[in-house]
Structure 1
């Protein structure tokens, strides 16, 4: 390692030579000379105000200062000793804390990465300077309790030591701690707590996304940039390039594609100059499928990161608690950390450990800090006085009343001294995080989960009434589906299964599809209905449209029609309309959805239906309902007979294992004339609302509704026949009247003529 340090900065030489042959030096003297000499050390001192706030001088052996400065430079990855290293060495030997913040200040103020200071201007790197951050330097001064060792770190070191396949591909769900493993590795390298192979290794966080974004999209430009990057990596010697986020252009593609060829060229070029790669790839980004990417990631060893064990998770939580306590000025006892872990495990559904427990603790601290660490009233009054005094001084100067300005300025300075002496929180005043604070956040989680529905808890009880106002004559069906929503929102259903699985049977025009539409709109909002007409999926080859094309077929990367829609709208009503027209293979897909509450597409992605209502509709067994029996007294079947017939037909058509998955098989009853009266009122109200948008008012004369009802009512075709009659007899005539421009008033009157025809009048 003696050849690693090549020079001492000129300013550092001046400072050291000025001490002469003394054995000990004063810390104040050292800091004063650093300020006099200038350079990075001076900039850090001035930005921190350290010299002015130094209360006590200390003496440091000169030889120990020099040794520590050299060691600091080595740990920071620098090939020189500068004034910043003397500063950090002096503070270290004097026993001062806060070195982590000062080292971060050095990084912030430095205009170029320190690891490149020894490179001449003619060959000064541009790519690494722009797109890379030195992680070994960043985490060097972080205290040990900021990191938690995990077994995966040792595995990563072993992979990097391999001769072949020595690049690391970290996979796993988002939130398991892949990036924290990289931080631990970077700190160990900076402290040389590694095999000798990694001594002097640079670990750089490389922003590949920004790198490729700022390049013209052609292969020649990429090749030139990759050669330049490899040349810069060669100058560093042994290095590790970390790519924490893979650009989308490199995800889910084969090595034979143009982007895949660029990526392979990048990996091979860097490996040739002794630069290894570590790539983080979330399961959500990679879609859990590497079958097409095996050649692309040739030279990588995949390391799947799982949720850590409980012991490791608790260590991570205690580490995060220490950070949060300092950030929020709170006390976080061990009991609160354990309670957060327990509740995150049992009540927080999303995400994985340790992320969901850390997030729960963070939100609890935020809530407690917001509620219980308010600025004291006396301090607020003092701030108000300071603001007023400052404005008064400015006004006095503006009025050229300098005597008054001087007098007010003295008052202002006294107020500033008081403000500077105020401590917002002392140890005895700090709020202690409790289980109650965590429970408040859990209640917020539940409220957020309830907001997945359009309606709130208060109006959920009225959902049944709201839907019955739009769906006529099917009170039992409405009650069943709304009760399923209530069960779900109150947390009284299996977490992984859909909100409800229902089979709607009955003749056409009785409201099966309409109930699904209204339920979606009332419970989940507009555009929350995923409707799949099963007549479009009657052939075997069309089944793949639901879950995507298989590998090797056109459209493989496009995803499935059903899976892509449920991923965009997980809170929805999924309607499989007229299931009897579907290919039998679709029934196997339905089994998976209704039993497991999830569906895998052809790419290996898993999509959850746990917040969806699954509805199947069918007209099975209704073909002969309206056929008259032979004889004088033949009539339409009774409701009980209709229900028995359609239930038997459903049992004959659907497999028992599918029927057994339904929460309820509901037979819709035929609409009677009294039901049609209410339906007509709903249809007329829709027409009135449409005209109201045009500032027009509709008035119906005597006998108009009776005319529409008499002409549109049909036991066989249900509400659809009535809707068609309203469109033909009422809407068409109003539209023609408006198109002719006949209306000069804001009121449109419709009356029934003596000939039995509807007329639109001015």
Structure 2
């Protein structure tokens, strides 16, 4: 490598880096070796800069050394240069040119490493607060001090000189060069643009922007508008997360790769950082003056700059009540065609901020950016997944990509594709990376067993000679465990090393691919061919070999996973939403086939209702349910206390593993018309109009739930007008204009209408005849359009004596579980059980009187006996019938059971 362009200190650092790599038996010099070499020069400028940024050079050096020490080692031989290190050196050369320096100096190498390829070195620098932007600002502040490096003064002297010189902002050089932002030589000729802008075209050329897949129609439309003679200012309109910024990045890629019409070949897309532009402009007129000068710089570029403003609606709005602020400064320049502007905004932002200003709106051409389809989103994730694989050092399977899109579309309602799918894939990879960095469960169990055995050995030693045999047995077991731990630990380190090596090689492949593209853009075909058919092919062979070594290690048994699979994505969705999202495995299939039994164990005597609900659940989980309406719309009709609400609770627990997934709306609170709007939120201008509705907010926050409208007959008729859209199309708009999705809910309404008729006819006529008669009664109370949207109207029978007897058994088992927590048991004689049942048998009130009877006859007297000390831990309480009521005695017989039972219904409901 030719070091003529490097200063003496930089040359010394490079030589030291290679020597350091050789000492560690590394086959190639990595960016980490270079940074450690820079830090080793204690009197150099690099440690001084780090201290100014609040970083600890020694601590950073220790971390980098630890990271490098864990890398795979080679037996020896010559030390070459890794592709990532070459990228750092080339970037340092470019940085020196930006600063108009004839030599590459130490701080140029540090800046290049801080913005180098993604990896351990860049992460360590970022964690210490050492970023390219921070270093660029510091380089400007320390410009005088850094210049003294040429005179041979030490870093300590440089730091003192810089500290004495203060932190005042210094003017740019005569050539307009300013290292702030470091976004390339083009921006360095503009004072404000280099400070507040990012050259996306150069970032795309350098491979710093993620690849853009799809969105060809929007990019072509963007190019078409930019090619107009006048009003060539496109504005992308789309909801957050649909990929508006990606469209801009796609255009930057095309310009960088010269895949645009002739008139756009020399254009530069410069993204303006409005936050930085506004910062520090506390006095009136400062912001406007700064923006005016920036517009002059853009106009002076004679059309070469395409100014990109993200969230344009936030910029053109009023600033402290002073008119339209930035809009009044932008409109004249846009109208005269002096600048070309690309903006992005949301539909509401365009409607509320831009559309109202007709003079501003006419200067822009709107381009709609819709949400990506499932197929487009899958293609996008496949195109960018390599970036995430390199960052997380894992492998993302294609099934995980598809699952990220499908599951996010189905379960994450508040956000849009592809943004939510990208975040889901990113977090699933991060989750797996965390598992890889943690200790495997098998190894952790062995270590804990070893600690327990060591504790037993200490106890046996103190017991004396009598425990010698047991002590020897424990010592032998501990020795065996240590050997197993050592073997597993070696396998673990080997697997981690192989995974890290594979990730490093993939990063080199990506970096080399960027160099190939860059060489092609610079028409250096010889260099491109050398990289593509020489370096790149060698790297691909190394990747194949590393993959083979990893597979061989996995053949002995896998301790850690490096593949992000569908289950990992499903686990993240479950953490996001609280909904158990898993594959429909054989166990779940069996559970769905037996859903009637599960629900029937909680809801006694209501088999028609259980059967109808079970059919709806199976349709939804099997994927044959229409997706534009709720999972099911049901109307439960029956007397009080027969299990209507209990079935809703059982359904919430069965589907979503929690009764908290039940949203309960008491319709008796909505008898007046004035209360109806509280379901969807008060209209604009009324109190609490910004809070949303009780129903819509509950479903928006928990879209997977059972929605129970209790005592529906008491609600005002306007409530049912609101619910018509929910029942038919599965959506409802709230007072904020947001559309709430009800397609993943089950809608249940309960009513006591016809309860007297049901009580009279239960057991007297067939269920079908009772059902027909109750439906006729409902027609007198509800509109046909409401009843016609229901999937089923289910009549709940009055509870007969057999059903109440089964419920009594459930209540007794619940009492047994409560007493078991105190190490007590309870047993009822048949006579006592019959007495309680007789006291609570009131069919017109359902199961509630039965619970009151158990409370008054059993639980209250039992509490007195326990407080008086009549029974203690280990006792079994025998409840028998006496002349004056129930009698409580200590039972000496073995109890019939342990009191365990599945979760049972609440007969109060």
Q: Could you say whether these structures have the same fold, taking a TM-score greater than 0.5 normalized by the shorter chain as the test?
A: yes
* Residue of 555, 574, 577 corresponding to 2:707: 574
1:745 aligns with 2:872: yes
1:423 aligns with 2:542: yes
Counterpart CA distance in 1 for 2:272 and 2:794 is: 59
* Residue of 681, 692, 697 corresponding to 2:825: 697
Aligned to 2:679: 546
On the 8 A contact 2:199/2:270 being kept in 1, the answer is: yes
**How far is the alpha carbon of 1:567 from its aligned partner?**
1.9
On the 8 A contact 2:6/2:104 being kept in 1, the answer is: no
On the 8 A contact 1:330/1:430 being kept in 2, the answer is: no
On the 8 A contact 1:132/1:205 being kept in 2, the answer is: yes
Counterpart CA distance in 1 for 2:540 and 2:632 is: 62
Counterpart CA distance in 2 for 1:592 and 1:40 is: 75
1:306 aligns with 2:360: no
**How far is the alpha carbon of 1:569 from its aligned partner?**
1.8
| Greater mean alpha carbon deviation, residues 457-466 or residues 532-541 | 457-466
List per-residue Cα deviations over 1:164-216 (Å, max 9, x = no partner): 999876443455322212223445677897998997867236485x999x99x
On the 8 A contact 1:325/1:332 being kept in 2, the answer is: yes
**How far is the alpha carbon of 1:723 from its aligned partner?**
2.1
1:203 aligns with 2:336: no
Q: Where does 1:150-161 land on structure 2 (aligned, <5 Å)?
A: 150-153=216-219
Aligned to 2:207: 142
Counterpart CA distance in 1 for 2:639 and 2:326 is: 64
Aligned to 1:472: 604
**How far is the alpha carbon of 1:343 from its aligned partner?**
12
What SS does structure 2 have at the residue aligned with 1:32? coil
What SS does structure 2 have at the residue aligned with 1:549? coil
Aligned to 2:724: 591
1:716 aligns with 2:844: yes
* Residue of 241, 244, 250 corresponding to 1:178: 244
1:112 aligns with 2:136: yes
1:611 aligns with 2:767: no
Q: Where does 1:392-411 land on structure 2 (aligned, <5 Å)?
A: none
List per-residue Cα deviations over 1:32-65 (Å, max 9, x = no partner): 333548599989998658997479xxxxxxxxxx
Q: Where does 1:275-314 land on structure 2 (aligned, <5 Å)?
A: 303-307=367-371
On the 8 A contact 2:377/2:405 being kept in 1, the answer is: no
Aligned to 1:561: 694
On the 8 A contact 2:832/2:881 being kept in 1, the answer is: no
On the 8 A contact 2:10/2:105 being kept in 1, the answer is: no
Counterpart CA distance in 2 for 1:479 and 1:520 is: 16
Change (3 A) 1:507 1:294: farther
| Greater mean alpha carbon deviation, residues 121-130 or residues 529-538 | 121-130
On the 8 A contact 2:226/2:233 being kept in 1, the answer is: yes
On the 8 A contact 1:452/1:571 being kept in 2, the answer is: no
Counterpart CA distance in 1 for 2:565 and 2:492 is: 34
Change (3 A) 1:557 1:523: same
Counterpart CA distance in 2 for 1:430 and 1:269 is: 62
Counterpart CA distance in 1 for 2:638 and 2:731 is: 28
Change (3 A) 1:386 1:594: closer
* TM-score, scaled to structure 2: 0.54
**How far is the alpha carbon of 1:499 from its aligned partner?**
1.8
On the 8 A contact 2:5/2:103 being kept in 1, the answer is: no
Output the aligned Cα RMSD: 6.4
On the 8 A contact 1:625/1:637 being kept in 2, the answer is: no
Q: Where does 1:230-629 land on structure 2 (aligned, <5 Å)?
A: 230=291, 303-307=367-371, 319-320=383-384, 349=410, 423-425=542-544, 451-452=580-581, 456-524=588-656, 525-625=658-758
* Residue of 668, 679, 695 corresponding to 2:807: 679
* Residue of 32, 38, 43 corresponding to 2:4: 32
On the 8 A contact 1:255/1:261 being kept in 2, the answer is: no
What SS does structure 1 have at the residue aligned with 2:626? coil
On the 8 A contact 2:836/2:853 being kept in 1, the answer is: yes
What SS does structure 1 have at the residue aligned with 2:789? coil
Counterpart CA distance in 1 for 2:266 and 2:834 is: 93
Aligned to 2:153: none
On the 8 A contact 1:704/1:750 being kept in 2, the answer is: no
Structure 2 stretches lacking a partner, 5+ long = 19-28, 35-77, 83-89, 107-114, 123-129, 144-167, 173-177, 182-191, 300-304, 434-486, 498-538, 551-563, 891-909
**How far is the alpha carbon of 1:704 from its aligned partner?**
2.8
List per-residue Cα deviations over 1:80-111 (Å, max 9, x = no partner): 54469999xxxxxxxxxxx9969x99984971
**How far is the alpha carbon of 1:731 from its aligned partner?**
3.3
Counterpart CA distance in 1 for 2:871 and 2:403 is: 71
* Residue of 766, 777, 788 corresponding to 1:660: 788
Change (3 A) 1:758 1:592: same
**How far is the alpha carbon of 1:649 from its aligned partner?**
0.9
Aligned to 1:414: none
Structure 1 stretches lacking a partner, 5+ long = 1-27, 56-67, 88-98, 370-376, 388-419, 432-439, 629-634
Q: Where does 1:186-201 land on structure 2 (aligned, <5 Å)?
A: 186-187=252-253
Change (3 A) 1:276 1:602: farther
Counterpart CA distance in 2 for 1:330 and 1:386 is: 11
| Greater mean alpha carbon deviation, residues 689-698 or residues 642-651 | 689-698
**How far is the alpha carbon of 1:594 from its aligned partner?**
2.2
Counterpart CA distance in 2 for 1:680 and 1:726 is: 8
**How far is the alpha carbon of 1:137 from its aligned partner?**
4.1
Counterpart CA distance in 2 for 1:425 and 1:501 is: 55
Change (3 A) 1:361 1:523: closer
Aligned length: 636
* Residue of 770, 773, 776 corresponding to 1:645: 773
What SS does structure 2 have at the residue aligned with 1:558? coil
* TM-score, scaled to structure 1: 0.63
On the 8 A contact 1:40/1:84 being kept in 2, the answer is: no
Change (3 A) 1:694 1:121: farther
**How far is the alpha carbon of 1:561 from its aligned partner?**
1.1
**How far is the alpha carbon of 1:463 from its aligned partner?**
2.9
**How far is the alpha carbon of 1:475 from its aligned partner?**
1.7
**How far is the alpha carbon of 1:266 from its aligned partner?**
6.9
What SS does structure 2 have at the residue aligned with 1:653? coil
On the 8 A contact 1:512/1:668 being kept in 2, the answer is: yes
Counterpart CA distance in 1 for 2:609 and 2:287 is: 64
Aligned to 1:15: none
Counterpart CA distance in 2 for 1:176 and 1:500 is: 31
What SS does structure 1 have at the residue aligned with 2:708? strand
| Greater mean alpha carbon deviation, residues 509-518 or residues 685-694 | 685-694
* Residue of 798, 810, 828 corresponding to 1:670: 798
On the 8 A contact 1:241/1:276 being kept in 2, the answer is: yes
Aligned to 2:170: 121
* Residue of 884, 889, 892 corresponding to 1:756: 884
List per-residue Cα deviations over 1:227-251 (Å, max 9, x = no partner): 797599579756888676899xx89
Change (3 A) 1:332 1:709: closer
Counterpart CA distance in 2 for 1:345 and 1:385 is: 32
On the 8 A contact 2:5/2:104 being kept in 1, the answer is: no
Q: Where does 1:55-70 land on structure 2 (aligned, <5 Å)?
A: none
Counterpart CA distance in 1 for 2:887 and 2:802 is: 26
On the 8 A contact 1:201/1:237 being kept in 2, the answer is: no
| Greater mean alpha carbon deviation, residues 505-514 or residues 298-307 | 298-307
Counterpart CA distance in 1 for 2:649 and 2:788 is: 25
Counterpart CA distance in 2 for 1:137 and 1:269 is: 28
Counterpart CA distance in 1 for 2:206 and 2:194 is: 22
**How far is the alpha carbon of 1:578 from its aligned partner?**
1.8
Counterpart CA distance in 2 for 1:54 and 1:42 is: 11
